[in-house]
Structure 1
Amino acid sequence: MNNIEFDTKKQIIMDLVSHPEYRPLKIKEIAALLDIPQHDRHILDEVLQTLIAEGKLIKTKRSKYAVPEKLNLISGVFEGHPKGFGFVVVEEEENDIFIPGDNTNGALHKDKVLIKIVSEPSGRRKEGEVVQIVERGVTEVIGTFDKSSNFGFVIPDNPKLFKDIFVSKTNDKGAVTGHKVIVEITNYGNERRSPEGSITEIIGHVNDPGTDITSIVRGFNLPVDFPEAVMREVESIPAEVQEKELKNRLDIRDWQTVTIDGEDAKDLDDAITITKKPDGKYTLGVHIADVTHYVKENSFLDKEAITRATSVYLVDRVIPMLPHKLSNGICSLNANVDRLALSCIMDLDENGTVIGHKIEQTVINVDRRMTYTAVKKILEENDEETIAEYKELVPMFKDMEDLAMLLRTKRKQRGSIDFDFPESKIILNEQGEPIDIKAYDRNVATKIIEEFMLLANETIAEDYHWQELPFVYRTHELPDPEKIQKLGQFIYNFGYRIKGHKESIHPKEIQKLLSEIEGKPEEPIISRLALRSMKQARYTASNDGHFGLSAKYYTHFTSPIRRYPDLQIHRIIKQNLNGELNEKKIAHYKSILPQVTKQCSELERRAEEAERETNKLKKVEYMSKHIGEEFEGVISGVTSWGIYVELPNTVEGLVHVTALDDDYYIFDQEKYMFVGERTSKIYRIGDTVNIRVLGTDKIQKTIDFEMVE
């Protein structure tokens, strides 16, 4: 049967089963209606299986065929949960659909599925049942091998793949217990039977240095090595700025310019200039590496950059979006060398309001490469030695501090939300072992850069919004109304209120709440619940505002070395400045930006998950050396299965409900707390407690605590 005949039969069958008068049909009924003889039934079966694989047709439990729409089925992607249940992400639905463990019907994480809604509880998310698995989302799994005499199991690194994979002795490639392996799934099993697989690669033993992080990199399918075509393209790029490249650029090499970054940073993509006039007005220049000068649209470099979308910052390494010759070399705004930049130069009045700006293609020359630590020593600690070392720049830093504080005050007044939860800084030795963990220092220097980058991003976004040109925006949507309602009910017990309708709350109300609870015993619990009510920010081709920043216009302009959305808008801005943004180009960007923003958002999530997993792994490794030791911590989460406690160094562990053995504790879901039945003792989010480290599990990346009186 040729392709034309096959496609014709597919269409005829689709027309047939879609007919309004027909109910779901058995194969013999379809054969009879199409007058297909018994000896050609295998051809019909082949067509039906193809339609099922394409998600156009479904086979019911009674072996009848129908289109999903007739059975009110919904298509989506299954997101597994370690406890065996899951959620289906549906594009048209605002909230994911909950799938109980009994209703997964063999679906695994990332499978494309068809589901039916079985329950719509009032005030809670819909519940569904997987009716058909349309397409498997995972074909290879990274995990730890556990060997028995004649077989073994691979325990997936990703806990969302909640089933171990059976491996027969003939398919184990000689792996032993503790080996990190890649296993190809050969049989997906069902709700009663484990998936089966064949080991294709042994990465290394779990105790070998570097194996753990490499496994995470492979598990998230993060691209490490650059293709040869990309590297050949990089070779043609000069290591230094050429004289001919300075044509039609604003030359500001004589402006006093600095970069301010962490000590370890090598990809320096933003530099600052500032002047303060006698009348209190400022001119602030935010100068960003002109990456698009070297990364041309549709080049091998560009295509590779968008497939990565972001640099990934793991605890022991950086997986860059661009090769090092660009990210650490010609694109990096290193000191005392000429560099090409795209600059946003803003004039501000004495109150910190932008009263004018211009966007220019520039050439700059950075005077000093500053660190957050050095600037902090100058401005916060008045360290005489550091002040003497950078004496010519000290007045500039004081002007920066004054303006940044003005901007910060203005931002808070309009309602910008600032969740000040500490990030982790994990320090490793040469063998990759964690030797210290502490909270990342947010100081005056980090706040200066934060405020200046925010201002440039807002200024650029507003400019291009009003020009009505295709653009990439950073969007943060309104919080989930149900979560805001729950937050409102909870804080009412503490005497607080959130004004406004739950559907259209203003960010100022959240910021006001955070200000009211500052320093109060209930601050940790309420601020955490407020954070959990927020949605995740994402990239969009439309300007929909940024709720968390209380900003009508926001984009990402300031990091094109490590974020593709920034690189994309640089390209648009430059073409606009050069008069190249004609109707054809505008139509081109309108057609590609929805997909670009969707892909960048998805790959940003992947990078964040990989970063979280490496941090969790090293925290487990660090705490495994402290088993039996006691620490003071704060309850950071309360669930039906136990209490999460966060230590001052940002490590979080679980006190399992079975470890609360001094009483029988009742879980109060509404108030996020456990109450002792006999003693009335209460454990709630935000309480300070003493714990002892019980144990760690490097494979599951978990830390167990117990309470200490």
Structure 2
Amino acid sequence: MDRTILEVKKQLVLSMMEDKKYKPLRFKEIIAVMQVPKAEKQDLKEVLDSLIHDGKIMIDSKTRYKLANANLKVGTFSGTQRGYGFVVIEGEKEDIFIPENATKGAMNKDVVQVMIREEQTGKRREGEIVSIVERGNTEIVGTFQKSKNFGFVVPDNLKLGRDIFIPKEHTKGAVTGHKVVVKIVDFGGKDKNPEGRITEIIGHINDPGVDIMSIIKSNNLPMEFPDPVMKSLDTIPDEVDGADMAGRMDIRDLQMVTIDGEDAKDLDDAITISKNGDKYTLGVHIADVTNYVKEGSALDVEALKRGTSVYLVDRVIPMLPHKLSNGICSLNAGVDRLALSCFMDIDQKGNVVGHKIAETLVRVDRRMSYTSVKKILEDHDEAEIEEYKELVPMFEMMQELALILREKRHKRGSIDFDFPESKIILNEKGKPIDIKAYERNTATKIIEDFMLIANETIAEDYFWQELPFVYRTHENPDSEKIEKLGIFINNFGYSIKIGQDDIHPKELQKLLGKIEGTPEEALISRLTLRSMKQAKYTVTNDGHFGLSTKYYCHFTSPIRRYPDLQIHRIIKENLRGKMSEKRITHYDRILSDVARQSSETERRADEAEREVEKLKKVEYMKQFIGEQFEGVISGITTWGMYVELPNTVEGMIRVTAMKDDYYYYDEEHYMMIGEHTKKMYKLGQKVTIEVVDCDRELRTIDFELAESEEETTIEDQDNEKTASLQQTENYGKHTAKGATMNPDVDEQAIMKIVKDTYSGK
């Protein structure tokens, strides 16, 4: 149904229910009262479902529709393996706690209506689920267990909480230990497990590759491209043809390079740079993917469905087929390619004093790697300098400009946590043989700086043109979280200035600068990170807190991100003078859905990447059971402490494994305290651990404190600051990849806000 028609019909139904004479009616009764034709029954159902989703109406226990009361909210249920859960409501600071006896059979990711209880027993708001608006899981992936006359599937996602009953006739020949895909046919209820039928057997749990394929399936990541998409590739040339070159700015004579990781195949950005007096001219040239992916085509529909490329440790699931991503759309050296270019004139203070956006014809001179450019600029490697001697002046100029741009961002308050990511090395059989922290270097920072300034320039241009657009936005942190952070850091002698409503990002940047190189750096950096929100795509320009900029978008990676592809289409249409009122109306109508879908698929990709990474880390650490390592406490919960090792691997020391005392979690001070011994463990503290167990199924690593570990007691401390830091040295920066230390916070996802740049993948 058209969105405008839907809104009109919603208002009609709502007006009827708001009438004082209205009595709650069932669906069939509403059809009769409103005299809805048989052909429009489904439309009425869509209207009612939409009103429930908006939280305007509800269904009571007798399946009658009525107006919702003020305590009824709509949100997404987040389950736990313990049976209870939380409802996350968009726009509200605090989740609603749902006790186990009040879930009404809701499963993880279900959209639900929750009634908030007026009388609260604890700190967190509580509620009970009234109805399930929309199921979040129709298919699940799990491990099959066979019984004599039936079977059941244990979901891989522990948040789903309950096993799925499988009648014998729907087991599809699966045997115990098979990883399977199950279609749920009956969601069960409070006292009845869901029932399903097996639709696919992925393979046995011990077969190579089944583990990662299970994660791909459970996150509903599309692998194969549909036939219409593959057939459409027949019309796409292998090389740029003459007709496509017509009317473009020919810049093939400019010295141009790409700089990427050694294993990158989808090269979607290239750089040119020159200097005239005190002014730099930086050219950021992005592959013109929209020349081949037309709006509404099979390629376009599939790209929007995927939303983003997904980078797993052993494979890439691309947004576009390889013929495009690695072929005609990849800015490979020595061949003609189509691009959308942003030329920026930048002064010595980093200000963009002029810019031009143009459709261009490019030819890259050399395909450079981050490693090679680092060797030239950081290591001054003579062999590397000789190999690329004609390009060395270009790289030196890039470094000059990047430092200027970085300094300007720093002055305005842009936050950079600089957390390294995990780099997992696999052998030819897919087994992890090494894990280390992947550090940024001079070359990666240069590209980040250039992509950032291009994204900002494009966003500001189109904001002032007042045209429909997709922005990358990052909201200010919740004032409550910032207030808690301010109180906590006072214990260490630090402070942050908080305005009437908001904090300026420069305050957090200054805080991170003050703690750099101090023992408390790890602790405060992590707590500052946790105060942040996630970035998302929006049609309104709400600014980007983490980057401290009013204007930001994603323009630089259309091969692997749909929002970039979408705004390329808008930019080109505008450059060609075709942005008519009709087209503006068209974009106003579709862009909200594009932004929402792009944000959702980004979250889905992050989840899959994180799960695969956790799996490979567990697999890697299994060989070290019984060995000891030094790590840092990276998270504390009521059931234990997470410890992170220098190679970014994280494991848990469970409270039940701390046998010398009963330990409780002091949430206010991020501390685990022994009730009798008064031994104390705090976030950021360095400890020695022993690896005791690795569970591939649960993707968990268990640590225990090494017997030689010297604990600190509260009585040992002279003051709160010493108590926090007695055993803590400067541990350096810690990873965010795979770092799900706290059940309330997903740090890897939040890191998107502080590393919201070109990733180099």
TM-score (norm 2): 0.85
Q: 1:52 to 1:295 in 2, by over 3 A?
A: closer
CA distance in 2, matches of 1:419, 1:451: 15
The amino acid across from 2:184 in the alignment is I
CA distance in 1, matches of 2:547, 2:634: 24
CA distance in 2, matches of 1:124, 1:482: 14
Moved more, 637-646 or 68-77: 68-77
After superposition, the C-alpha distances for 1:75-113 in whole angstroms (9 at most, x for unaligned) are: 333222333222324446454433232321211122232
Matched, 1:662 2:699: no
Asked if the contact 1:289–1:342 (Cα under 8 Å) also holds between the matched residues in 2, the reply is yes
Matched, 1:246 2:245: yes
Q: How does 1:36-51 map to 2 (within 5 A)?
A: none
Task: State the 1:17 CA deviation.
Answer: 6.9
Q: 1:576 to 1:58 in 2, by over 3 A?
A: closer
Match of 1:644 in 2: 642
**Secondary structure of the equivalent of 1:74?**
strand
**Secondary structure of the equivalent of 2:136?**
coil
**Secondary structure of the equivalent of 1:439?**
strand
Match of 1:86 in 2: 85
Match of 2:570 in 1: 572
Q: 1:121 to 1:502 in 2, by over 3 A?
A: farther
CA distance in 1, matches of 2:484, 2:44: 47
After superposition, the C-alpha distances for 1:423-445 in whole angstroms (9 at most, x for unaligned) are: 11111111111111111121001
Structure 2: unaligned runs, 5 residues or longer: 1-9, 34-41, 710-761
Q: 2:439 aligns with which of 438, 441, 446?
A: 441
Asked if the contact 2:60–2:66 (Cα under 8 Å) also holds between the matched residues in 1, the reply is no
Asked if the contact 1:54–1:134 (Cα under 8 Å) also holds between the matched residues in 2, the reply is no
Structure 1: unaligned runs, 5 residues or longer: 1-9, 35-45
After superposition, the C-alpha distances for 1:629-668 in whole angstroms (9 at most, x for unaligned) are: 2111111101101000111111111110111112332310
Asked if the contact 1:68–1:74 (Cα under 8 Å) also holds between the matched residues in 2, the reply is no
**Secondary structure of the equivalent of 2:669?**
coil
Match of 1:38 in 2: none
Task: State the 1:201 CA deviation.
Answer: 1.9
Match of 1:211 in 2: 210
Q: 2:425 aligns with which of 416, 424, 427?
A: 427
Q: 1:591 aligns with which of 589, 592, 601?
A: 589
The amino acid across from 1:378 in the alignment is I
Asked if the contact 2:141–2:182 (Cα under 8 Å) also holds between the matched residues in 1, the reply is yes
Match of 1:673 in 2: 671
**Secondary structure of the equivalent of 2:144?**
strand
Matched, 1:459 2:433: no
CA distance in 1, matches of 2:12, 2:366: 72
Match of 1:37 in 2: none
Q: How many residues align?
A: 685
CA distance in 2, matches of 1:64, 1:19: 20
Q: 1:103 to 1:596 in 2, by over 3 A?
A: same
TM-score (norm 1): 0.91
Moved more, 237-246 or 445-454: 237-246
Match of 2:725 in 1: none
Asked if the contact 1:415–1:511 (Cα under 8 Å) also holds between the matched residues in 2, the reply is yes
Task: State the 1:174 CA deviation.
Answer: 2.9
CA distance in 1, matches of 2:538, 2:27: 45
Task: State the 1:403 CA deviation.
Answer: 1.1
The amino acid across from 2:20 in the alignment is P
Q: 1:303 to 1:657 in 2, by over 3 A?
A: same
CA distance in 1, matches of 2:95, 2:314: 34
**Secondary structure of the equivalent of 2:265?**
coil
Asked if the contact 1:425–1:440 (Cα under 8 Å) also holds between the matched residues in 2, the reply is yes
Matched, 1:385 2:402: no
CA distance in 1, matches of 2:70, 2:370: 60
CA distance in 2, matches of 1:501, 1:544: 19
CA distance in 2, matches of 1:419, 1:465: 28
Match of 1:182 in 2: 181
The amino acid across from 1:289 in the alignment is A
Task: State the 1:193 CA deviation.
Answer: 3.2
Asked if the contact 1:152–1:166 (Cα under 8 Å) also holds between the matched residues in 2, the reply is yes
Match of 1:20 in 2: 20
Task: State the 1:503 CA deviation.
Answer: 2.8
CA distance in 2, matches of 1:663, 1:95: 33
Match of 1:338 in 2: 336
After superposition, the C-alpha distances for 1:270-316 in whole angstroms (9 at most, x for unaligned) are: 00111133x33211111100111111111111111111111111111
Match of 2:258 in 1: 259
CA distance in 2, matches of 1:362, 1:15: 54
**Secondary structure of the equivalent of 1:146?**
strand
Q: 1:408 to 1:25 in 2, by over 3 A?
A: closer
Match of 2:412 in 1: 414
Question: Alignment RMSD, CA only?
Answer: 2.8
Asked if the contact 2:58–2:68 (Cα under 8 Å) also holds between the matched residues in 1, the reply is no
Asked if the contact 2:273–2:397 (Cα under 8 Å) also holds between the matched residues in 1, the reply is yes
CA distance in 2, matches of 1:183, 1:27: 31
Match of 1:303 in 2: 301
CA distance in 2, matches of 1:241, 1:621: 45
Match of 1:166 in 2: 165
Task: State the 1:449 CA deviation.
Answer: 0.3
Q: 1:676 to 1:87 in 2, by over 3 A?
A: closer
Match of 1:528 in 2: 526
Asked if the contact 2:18–2:67 (Cα under 8 Å) also holds between the matched residues in 1, the reply is no
Q: 1:625 to 1:452 in 2, by over 3 A?
A: same
Asked if the contact 1:52–1:59 (Cα under 8 Å) also holds between the matched residues in 2, the reply is no
Task: State the 1:397 CA deviation.
Answer: 0.8
Q: Percent identity?
A: 64
Q: 1:375 aligns with which of 369, 373, 376?
A: 373
Q: 1:292 to 1:59 in 2, by over 3 A?
A: closer
After superposition, the C-alpha distances for 1:18-77 in whole angstroms (9 at most, x for unaligned) are: 65356668999x89x99xxxxxxxxxxx9999999787675545x473514258533333
The amino acid across from 1:567 in the alignment is L
Q: 1:92 to 1:439 in 2, by over 3 A?
A: closer
Q: 1:192 to 1:239 in 2, by over 3 A?
A: same
Task: State the 1:151 CA deviation.
Answer: 3.9
Match of 2:289 in 1: 291
Task: State the 1:149 CA deviation.
Answer: 4.4
CA distance in 2, matches of 1:27, 1:261: 58
CA distance in 1, matches of 2:88, 2:596: 15
Task: State the 1:616 CA deviation.
Answer: 0.9
Task: State the 1:188 CA deviation.
Answer: 2.1
Asked if the contact 2:470–2:540 (Cα under 8 Å) also holds between the matched residues in 1, the reply is yes
Match of 1:704 in 2: 702
Task: State the 1:356 CA deviation.
Answer: 1.0
CA distance in 2, matches of 1:406, 1:467: 28
CA distance in 2, matches of 1:580, 1:154: 55
Q: 1:537 to 1:121 in 2, by over 3 A?
A: farther
Moved more, 686-695 or 673-682: 673-682
The amino acid across from 1:687 in the alignment is Q
Q: 1:121 to 1:402 in 2, by over 3 A?
A: farther
CA distance in 1, matches of 2:648, 2:447: 24
CA distance in 1, matches of 2:119, 2:327: 56
**Secondary structure of the equivalent of 2:668?**
coil
The amino acid across from 2:641 in the alignment is I
Asked if the contact 1:267–1:332 (Cα under 8 Å) also holds between the matched residues in 2, the reply is yes
Asked if the contact 1:52–1:58 (Cα under 8 Å) also holds between the matched residues in 2, the reply is no
**Secondary structure of the equivalent of 1:235?**
helix
**Secondary structure of the equivalent of 2:571?**
helix
Moved more, 406-415 or 76-85: 76-85
Task: State the 1:505 CA deviation.
Answer: 0.8
**Secondary structure of the equivalent of 2:593?**
helix
Asked if the contact 1:251–1:363 (Cα under 8 Å) also holds between the matched residues in 2, the reply is yes
CA distance in 1, matches of 2:536, 2:44: 39
Asked if the contact 1:52–1:134 (Cα under 8 Å) also holds between the matched residues in 2, the reply is no
Match of 1:350 in 2: 348
Moved more, 48-57 or 556-565: 48-57
**Secondary structure of the equivalent of 2:240?**
coil
The amino acid across from 1:107 in the alignment is A
